[in-house]
Amino acid sequence: MQTRFPDAVRATQEGTAVERIIRKCVHCGFCNVTCPTFQVRRDELDGPRGRLYQIKNAVETGVVTASLRTHLDRCLTCRACETTCPAGVEYGRVLDYGRELIEQAAPRSPGQRLLRRALREVLPHAGRFALLLRFGRLLRPVLPSRLRELIPPTRAAGVLPTRHHARRMLLLGGCVQDAIDPRINAAATRVLDRLGIRLETISGVGCCGAISQHLTAPDEARNFMRRNIDAWWPQIQAGAEAVVVTASGCAVQVKDYGHLLADDPAYAARARRISECALDLSQVLEAEDLSGLKPAPGTPRRVAFQSPCTLQHGQRLGGVVEGLLRRVGFELLPAADGHLCCGAAGTYALLQRELSQELRGRKLASLAAGAPALIVTANIGCLAHLQGAAAVPVRHWIELLDPGFG
């Protein structure tokens, strides 16, 4: 794509990088074929190529419109377009740039600003979110179905192992996951314990920063990242092998700390090191001998796997979980269009309800084709979103390997 960015934009590091990325685009349109919003809306402006063009146009003319905001807001940040693009266009970086442009130049309505602020005040704070969820669960029986489906039933974490092992890894506890489903991190701790690894939760670690990042509050996101780095760093220096993340949406964010804090002289080196030692849970198990892991009695064997975008596109780990589950004896049922987003996409399910529900309906229909007993996934956002309308239980895949499955 030809560009003529103004000199003032070219003078910034990010402006230069964004122009370089946009110039790689050869207009082929392959990305539209795998873009969920283009597939639903059939509108060039709601596909990656069109969004790149709109951002380029806004930078060159200095005119940032409400229309641009609408089309960028509809983007799921799923990055399926990056996986497809033959020219290696890093669409996500251009999108981040475009979104920051909008926040500065095309302010939202007071109602929209309030909603986004409320989401930022609650979701990244584990204590506040847990309190709200507890309240929601109390009221659940009298709520309309639209709200009821957002409130999952309570689950118990189960007993945690107490054995010490020479090998130690650090767990990102996260923000909403433990309140929604405390069994996921507990199951990961039990499974790694069987493999001779102690998974430790470090006090002071919280939200990875992804929620603030997606709600275009990058400074707030960086503060969450710095806090986590401060908490993990002494443990990394003391020999902890890795930072393990059980939610693929958070894993992709932690792996990006090095890039997101590259301009912070006090944190850049440590952020890079944390990113290097961050592992999605599937990567930890992939490197281990799993011959001692057997599914617990009563664990369904015929399952469908929903591969989150943050796993297959964000981290490029497509096929890893499927391979692991087959190694320990599960039958993975085929599901069409596995590359397409389920519509959860962080806060997207709350902010773009219509598109999100359409994509969820399509995803559940393809997952149900093989009549699975269970749907498994790798990200808490997808899990909660799919569970709201699924005909069978939806779980994190690590639970299939948990000796306490139930």
Q: Angle at CA 260, nearest 5°, toward 235 and 385?
A: 85
Q: For ligand SF4, which is the closer residue by CB, 99 or 198? A: 99
Reduced to 3 states, what is the DSSP secondary structure of residue 100?
helix
Instruction: Give the separation between CA 210 and CA 250, rounded to whole angstroms.
Output: 7
- Taking the complex as a whole, how short is the minimal distance between the CB of residue 54 and ligand SF4, in angstroms? 11
Q: Is 403 helix (H, G, I), strand (E, B) or coil?
A: coil
Distances from the Cα of 184 to the Cαs of 130, 177, 195, 295, 339, in angstroms?
A: 16, 8, 17, 16, 24
Q: How far apart are CA 37 and CA 80, in angstroms?
A: 11
Give the residue with the Cβ less far from ligand SF4, 82 or 178.
82
CB of 310 to ligand SF4, least distance (A): 11
Q: Which residues bind ligand SF4 (CB under 6 A)?
A: 25-31, 35-37, 48-49, 51, 75-81, 84-85, 87, 89, 91
CB of 385 to ligand SF4, least distance (A): 15
Least Å from the CB of residue 2 to ligand SF4: 13
Nearer to ligand SF4, 258 or 314 (CB): 314
H or E stretch including 250? helix 248-254
> 95 or 398, CB closer to ligand SF4?
95
User: CB 140 → ligand SF4: shortest distance, Å?
Assistant: 32
Token pair for residue 179?
Answer: 């309140």
Nearer to ligand SF4, 77 or 189 (CB): 77
* Residue among 29 and 158 whose Cβ is closer to ligand SF4: 29
**275 versus 356: smaller Cβ distance to ligand SF4:** 356
In the complex, the smallest distance separating the C-beta of residue 303 from ligand SF4, rounded to whole angstroms, is 26
Query: Quick one: 86 or 204, whose CB is closer to ligand SF4?
Result: 86
Cα gap 212→220, rounded to integer Å: 6
Whether the Cβ atoms of residue 170 and residue 237 lie closer than 8 Å to each other: no
Contacts of 20 (CB under 8 A, 6+ apart): none
Using the structure block, give the residue that is written with the tokens 């998974």: 199
CB of 29 to ligand SF4, least distance (A): 5
Name beta bridge partners: 305: 376
Q: Count of alpha carbons within 13 Å of 311, Cβ hemisphere only?
A: 30
- CA distance linking residue 88 with residue 202, whole number of Å: 37
DSSP code of residue 102: H
Q: How far is the CB of 130 from ligand SF4 (least distance, A)?
A: 30
Q: How far is the CB of 47 from ligand SF4 (least distance, A)?
A: 6
Rank residues 40 and 333 by Cβ distance to ligand SF4 and give the closer one.
40
Q: What is the DSSP letter of 108?
A: P
Q: How far is the CB of 27 from ligand SF4 (least distance, A)?
A: 5
Cβ neighbors of 361 (< 8 A, separation 6 or more) are: 389
Find where tokens 């306490």 sit.
404
Closer Cβ to ligand SF4, 31 or 187, answer by number: 31
267's tokens = 């944190």
How buried is 345 (Cβ within 10 angstroms: 0-12 exposed, 13-18 middle, 19+ buried)? Answer: buried
CA 125 – CA 291 distance, rounded (Å): 39
Query: Residue 49: in which H helix or E strand, if any?
Result: helix 48-61
